[in-house]
Structure 1
Amino acid sequence: MSLSPQWLDELRARVTLSGVISRTTRLTKAGHEFKACCPFHNEKSPSFTVNDLKGFYHCFGCGAHGDVIRWMTDQRGLSFMDAVKELASEAGMELPAMDPRAAQEAEKRDSLHDVMAAAQAWFAERLTSSEGDKARAYLVTRGFNQRTVERFGFGYAPEGRQSLKAALSQFPEAMLIEAGLRIAVEDKEPYDRFRGRLMLPIEDARGRVIAFGGRIIDAAKTDAPKYLNSPDTPLFDKGRTLYNLHRAGPACRQSGRIVVVEGYMDVIALAAAGIEDAVAPLGTALTERQLEMLWRLTENPVLCFDGDVAGQRAAMRAVTRALPLLRPAHSLKIVHLPPGLDPDDLIRRDGTAAMEAALAQPQDLLGLLWQHERDAVPLASPEDKAGLKARLMAQVDTIADRDIQALYRRELSERFSAFAFPPREQREWKPARPGQRGVPAPRRSDPAQTARLRKSAGSRDALGAAVLAGLIRYPAELARHADVLAHAELADPRYGALVDAVDSGESLESGHLRTILAARGLASPAPDDYAALRFGFLADDAPPEQAQADLAAAVSLLVERPALEAALAEATRRLERDMSDGAYAEQQRLLKRKLEFESRLRHMASARAGAEQAAPAKPMAE
């Protein structure tokens, strides 16, 4: 399609600029012009003017300037072509003819829009029926009133596998499948994708339904995913879509910010609390395209992440994705909520003011990068600190803009120097050595107790090293355990690096995983270490199926350990505060679990030792 300057001028002439702007901004007549408080920045006295005769708007405060098409792209957040199409429809103008293939694709998309609109109407109608009782009850538990339910278009998909097909019988089966509403399987009858779910429409920048998200209602269905989104279709590309953009775009012009949260239910919870300028990606980390969409709205989008390990990892994925794209005046701000809370939890517990306070104090991108890399591994030796600097500079090297890269390099180098080479008077005071005047000699410890403690600590360290070695030796198992490892409180940053490799679609091969660790300045377990670790799944002659089962058991132990130790520590603190029978019983129960855990660990670590004593040694292989 080719839009000539003459055609665009005709479009501008047929549309009244003040009429379009007045839909979202209150205008006051002032002679031949209109005035208003600028929608692009906060002000108390009007400096924004609209001139229909000249066909442009202008703000004398912030310099915003443009015609009706620019208004649609900047204030509404539409793409240029979407803005032109909407204005042309309003003006009754036909778009210039496209080539036959493009015309056919456009016709197909228009037809699919009809399908999605019909599906949305049916889902909304089912929510109000007796079938939607459980879905309505769930919405009440979330605190969503009727206005929020109607505004965001909640609906319900019944349980039947053929219910939607019967309701939308006016559309061919092929269109329902192409729209992502039905699933086609070989040699079987197609069936409805969404069944027994609370439904939520996903809309494009023009407010048209292009996909759906469904949340399961029946908690007993543990074999089904909690949330299910439409697949990519001719209408829906999840990497190019931000949920709620058509509502948040205009709100962003008033607030001067755009907030990115992790899921669409977070967006709705914020909107219900009066925070209208929030969007969310759809089941993926932020893409380059989504970042560009955000930067069109504001120079510093605020990314808000849940206060858990997964939220921290999501923040770093966003940072590494954004670094190569940084350009002057465009960056990101990051907010971490209190541990264990998402936006809805925080608002319910502390109110909207607490959420606004968190959003008002974001961390800048550079600060998060420094904090994450500094805390990634213990920095006990000069080599560790040199590794920190290497990781920081490797991140800086990905920045394409040379000026920003140089400034990041200088700022991070200064922070590193202040951290690694503090002034002498600021260094940590070290206590006097035993034997000096006034310093008592240390108490002698029980040799047997010391040996038991060392053996226990050695087993714990060996477990972490063995699991890491096992995942590298059997890389296909990494995808199986990635979710569990991602949500575990593991101090070793190498697990985070391996899980990131799964999330980003990296090749899961032993050699490539070692390369990933090396690129982050992290060591890989060497094949020569396997014998010392003495876990059966690392043996050369271990049957693959048995090795994978033993590795899964070791992963379970590794994940269980931090939670058990934290619970035991809390129970011990409680017992010290409250010498009650209940506190004592809880501590003893956890101590018993800890002893059982250590017994299972010793058994796993010693199983290979017994096998090696009964069989001749074999050459070591990776």
Structure 2
Amino acid sequence: MARAAPSPNQAPRRGGGGFALLSPAFLDELRARTSLSGLIGRTVKLQKAGNEHKACCPFHQEKTPSFWVNDQKAFYHCFGCGAHGDAIRFLTEARGLAFMDAVKELADAAGLELPAPTPAARAQAEREASLGEVVEQAAAWFRQQLGGIDGAGARAYLDKRGIGAEARAAFGIGFAPDSRGKLKAALAEAGEDRLVEAGLVIEVEGKERYDRFRGRLMIPIRDAKGRAIAFGGRILGDGEPKYLNSPETPLFDKGRTLFNLDRAGPASRRSGRLLVVEGYLDVIALDQAGIREAVAPLGTALTEHQLERLWRLVDEPILCFDGDKAGRRAAVRAAQRALPLLRPGKALAFALLPEGQDPDDLVRSGGPEAMEALLDAPVPLATLLYEAERDQVDLTRPELRAGLRAKLDELAGTCADRLVAEEFRRTFRELFFEEFGWKKTELRAIAGAIHRTGGNPAEELPRRTVRALLLGLSRHPRTLTRRAEDIACIRIDDPDLRRWRQVLVDATFRHPNLDVDAVEAILGTAVMPELLRFADVSDLRYRFTARTCDADEAVSQLDALISLLCGEREMSDQLAELDRAAIADDGSEWDAIEAARGPLRAGLRDLHEQMAEQASGEAI
């Protein structure tokens, strides 16, 4: 049997059961005994297609099936979003399980025994299980206190916040009495050392140990399987800190944990979205309003590990921030921190709440409809960053606008993935020029500025467009330095036109301030003379090729055309990749490949036809 793509994290993680490292042979045997279509078919409606199964992808929203499951090869693949993996990866990605939890579930179903744990691993597992029991006992005790005499104030607070009995039970809300030793006494059988290790009791050298949580509403923090591992305590009256979390323990890693992930994960798979809010009570308020796919970090900014957990569930989590200035600053900081972590297909969006309101306020005043209205139109990450930088600049001053563009390029450069960085750089430019240069509507006007001539427009268009671009760049060389990277990416098949581009790029890189006369002098000695006589060719209808064209108008139109040609190359590259896959295919994936090629062919056809049909008819 062919071995599937390797699963992530092929080593047990903390809390995974304490088993030894698993050999490739064991994992191959586990895959061989697992029916992948049977496993995926429990949660995804599969359709038989030859020797494979197909479905709408569970990892992104789509209407036409592009998700394929191959039992023989033991892997799944989505031609839409690129999701790919085996049975273990499916459980870790689709259900958010830890690697060892996924392996144990599959092994139990297949009747396989896991390798025996090492003594050290066994001791670690026993220690964590013991601590887990202590935390669960504490959670039960806190719930009892909420219903007792001491919990009257906490119950009144919950009533005031509109948190009803159903939510209290679902989230396991409790109360810690304002006492230094009641919990310690109630859980005495566990031993004070374990209470300290579990983060429930504080140890100060030379003094008596005492309860960590006192006079606080207690909200259990659970792992992905719903097991209590820590607590968040909210003070009821005045005092600091308002929220107090458990310290890090062998069970609880604050930077890897998200509050309510155990309940929000399944809800997000049903809704196709995942929200991130700032606090526990925001999560609970949204849950009561029927929006159950919300999580919260634990008093800190989102970490890389938390983002990865979010991206396992959805491609574009929505971060919801309070509507005050602090909330907006936090949104911008989150966007800036996320940039280096982005990769193709993974993104963030932002729902910015009205001034002075958090999600709890919003759903209490306007109901779930008010929140849904915000979630239906989230702000993309690029737009959020652009507007934040723009709003700090005096836009009436050209030198400060130039500084804004430099800052935006710097931000795009923080993306670790090259393709993502290029796309952010392009998007920032487009947003900038929408306000200060060419408009989006000019893309169509510029694209249509080619006169229809004899022959096939789709075949003639690329060469005619490229030579018009080169002539425009020769007459307006300042665009070259600014868009050199994009210009270098444009596909040019004609060797003479490639040489023309290379001469232009080399000249402006050596001498960035060359004027048009100097450029034309260089071209006159380095490029074949007949290439430069394009002003006499009747099928060049772009205004920027005319010597009489206003310089600013020409530059904005050149920017538009460069962006359009870059987009054409991307579509062509995707289609070529699918064509290669079709040639190599044994017939099993032909339908899926053809389904993916259709929209690309139509898109290229539409692009070329629009450009040809909207000729300006304005001769040079």
Q: Deviations over 1:181-234 (max 9, x none)?
A: 0111121101000111111110111211111001112x2xx3331111111111
Give yes or no for the alignment of 1:274 onto 2:290. yes
Matched residue, 1:388: 404
- Provide the C-alpha distance between the structure 1 equivalents of 2:438 and 2:68, rounded to a whole number of angstroms: 56
Aligned to 1:406, which of 422, 426, 436?
422
Please give the residue correspondences for 1:291-370 in structure 2 after superposition, counting only pairs within 5 Å: 291-370=307-386
Aligned to 1:182, which of 174, 182, 201?
201
Matched residue, 1:140: 159
- Aligned CA distance change for structure 1 residues 20 and 203 (closer, same or farther; 3 Å): farther
- Whether contact under 8 Å (1:203, 1:211) holds in the other structure is yes
- Aligned CA distance change for structure 1 residues 118 and 138 (closer, same or farther; 3 Å): same
Counterpart amino acid of 1:198? L
Aligned to 1:114, which of 128, 133, 157?
133
Give yes or no for the alignment of 1:372 onto 2:372. no
SS in 2 for 1:339: coil
- How many residues get paired? 419
Aligned to 2:179, which of 121, 143, 160?
160
Counterpart amino acid of 1:405? A
- Whether contact under 8 Å (1:319, 1:369) holds in the other structure is yes
Matched residue, 1:510: none
- Provide the C-alpha distance between the structure 2 equivalents of 1:108 and 1:258, rounded to a whole number of angstroms: 33
Counterpart amino acid of 1:101? A
- Whether contact under 8 Å (2:275, 2:319) holds in the other structure is yes
Matched residue, 1:540: none
- Aligned CA distance change for structure 1 residues 58 and 415 (closer, same or farther; 3 Å): closer
- Whether contact under 8 Å (1:165, 1:173) holds in the other structure is yes
Q: Deviations over 1:410-455 (max 9, x none)?
A: 33234334545589xxxxxxxxxxxxxxxxxxxxxxxxxxxxxxxx
Matched residue, 1:228: 244
Counterpart amino acid of 1:144? I
Aligned to 1:127, which of 140, 143, 146?
146
Quote the offset at 1:42 in angstroms: 6.3
Q: Deviations over 1:388-419 (max 9, x none)?
A: 22322221221111222122223323433454
- Provide the C-alpha distance between the structure 1 equivalents of 2:319 and 2:251, rounded to a whole number of angstroms: 26
- Provide the C-alpha distance between the structure 2 equivalents of 1:367 and 1:356, rounded to a whole number of angstroms: 20
- Whether contact under 8 Å (1:176, 1:182) holds in the other structure is yes
- Provide the C-alpha distance between the structure 2 equivalents of 1:378 and 1:122, rounded to a whole number of angstroms: 58
Counterpart amino acid of 2:426? R
- Provide the C-alpha distance between the structure 1 equivalents of 2:421 and 2:77, rounded to a whole number of angstroms: 35
Quote the offset at 1:150 in angstroms: 0.8
Quote the offset at 1:101 in angstroms: 3.4
Of 387-396 and 109-118, deviating more is 387-396
- Whether contact under 8 Å (1:76, 1:250) holds in the other structure is yes
SS in 1 for 2:363: helix
Q: Deviations over 1:283-325 (max 9, x none)?
A: 0011111111111111111111110111111111111111111
- Whether contact under 8 Å (2:273, 2:317) holds in the other structure is yes
Quote the offset at 1:335 in angstroms: 0.9
Quote the offset at 1:6 in angstroms: 4.6
Structure of higher RCO (CA pairs closer than 8 Å, 6+ residues apart): 2
- Provide the C-alpha distance between the structure 2 equivalents of 1:210 and 1:335, rounded to a whole number of angstroms: 30
Q: Deviations over 1:17-37 (max 9, x none)?
A: 8997788679999xxx99999
Of 13-22 and 188-197, deviating more is 13-22
- Whether contact under 8 Å (1:385, 1:420) holds in the other structure is no
SS in 2 for 1:307: coil
Aligned to 1:205, which of 224, 227, 230?
224
RMSD between superposed Cα atoms in Å:
3.6
Matched residue, 1:149: 168
Q: Structure 2 stretches of 5 or more lacking a match?
A: 1-19, 440-620
Aligned to 2:189, which of 170, 173, 186?
170
- Provide the C-alpha distance between the structure 2 equivalents of 1:361 and 1:408, rounded to a whole number of angstroms: 20
Aligned to 2:96, which of 77, 81, 88?
77
- Aligned CA distance change for structure 1 residues 322 and 388 (closer, same or farther; 3 Å): same
Matched residue, 2:271: 255
- Provide the C-alpha distance between the structure 2 equivalents of 1:380 and 1:37, rounded to a whole number of angstroms: 50
- Provide the C-alpha distance between the structure 2 equivalents of 1:176 and 1:274, rounded to a whole number of angstroms: 36
- Whether contact under 8 Å (1:18, 1:34) holds in the other structure is yes
Q: Percent identity?
A: 61
User: What is the TM-score normalised by the length of structure 1?
Assistant: 0.60
Aligned to 1:103, which of 119, 122, 125?
122
- Whether contact under 8 Å (1:260, 1:304) holds in the other structure is yes
- Provide the C-alpha distance between the structure 2 equivalents of 1:302 and 1:137, rounded to a whole number of angstroms: 32
Matched residue, 1:508: none
Matched residue, 1:555: none
SS in 2 for 1:376: coil
SS in 1 for 2:163: coil
- Whether contact under 8 Å (2:44, 2:55) holds in the other structure is yes
- Provide the C-alpha distance between the structure 2 equivalents of 1:389 and 1:48, rounded to a whole number of angstroms: 40
- Aligned CA distance change for structure 1 residues 19 and 197 (closer, same or farther; 3 Å): farther
Quote the offset at 1:161 in angstroms: 0.8
Matched residue, 2:431: 415
Q: Deviations over 1:49-93 (max 9, x none)?
A: 999999888999999787653442233111222322455567786
Q: Structure 1 stretches of 5 or more lacking a match?
A: 424-622
- Aligned CA distance change for structure 1 residues 258 and 133 (closer, same or farther; 3 Å): same
SS in 2 for 1:400: coil
- Provide the C-alpha distance between the structure 2 equivalents of 1:401 and 1:36, rounded to a whole number of angstroms: 30
- Whether contact under 8 Å (2:94, 2:312) holds in the other structure is no
- Provide the C-alpha distance between the structure 2 equivalents of 1:274 and 1:25, rounded to a whole number of angstroms: 23
Matched residue, 1:237: 253
Quote the offset at 1:355 in angstroms: 0.5
Counterpart amino acid of 1:317? R
- Provide the C-alpha distance between the structure 2 equivalents of 1:241 and 1:145, rounded to a whole number of angstroms: 26
- Provide the C-alpha distance between the structure 2 equivalents of 1:40 and 1:421, rounded to a whole number of angstroms: 38
Please give the residue correspondences for 1:546-565 in structure 2 after superposition, counting only pairs within 5 Å: none
- Provide the C-alpha distance between the structure 2 equivalents of 1:206 and 1:301, rounded to a whole number of angstroms: 21
- Provide the C-alpha distance between the structure 2 equivalents of 1:380 and 1:49, rounded to a whole number of angstroms: 54
SS in 1 for 2:297: coil
- Aligned CA distance change for structure 1 residues 342 and 23 (closer, same or farther; 3 Å): farther
Counterpart amino acid of 2:215? G
Q: Deviations over 1:440-484 (max 9, x none)?
A: xxxxxxxxxxxxxxxxxxxxxxxxxxxxxxxxxxxxxxxxxxxxx
Counterpart amino acid of 2:167? T
Of 137-146 and 307-316, deviating more is 137-146
Counterpart amino acid of 2:202? I
- Provide the C-alpha distance between the structure 2 equivalents of 1:104 and 1:45, rounded to a whole number of angstroms: 50
Q: Deviations over 1:152-198 (max 9, x none)?
A: 11111112211111111121211111111011112110100011111
SS in 2 for 1:320: helix
Matched residue, 1:569: none
Matched residue, 1:284: 300
SS in 1 for 2:229: strand
- Whether contact under 8 Å (2:33, 2:110) holds in the other structure is yes
- Whether contact under 8 Å (1:38, 1:48) holds in the other structure is yes
Q: Deviations over 1:127-149 (max 9, x none)?
A: 22222122122222222222211
- Provide the C-alpha distance between the structure 2 equivalents of 1:374 and 1:44, rounded to a whole number of angstroms: 37
SS in 2 for 1:411: helix
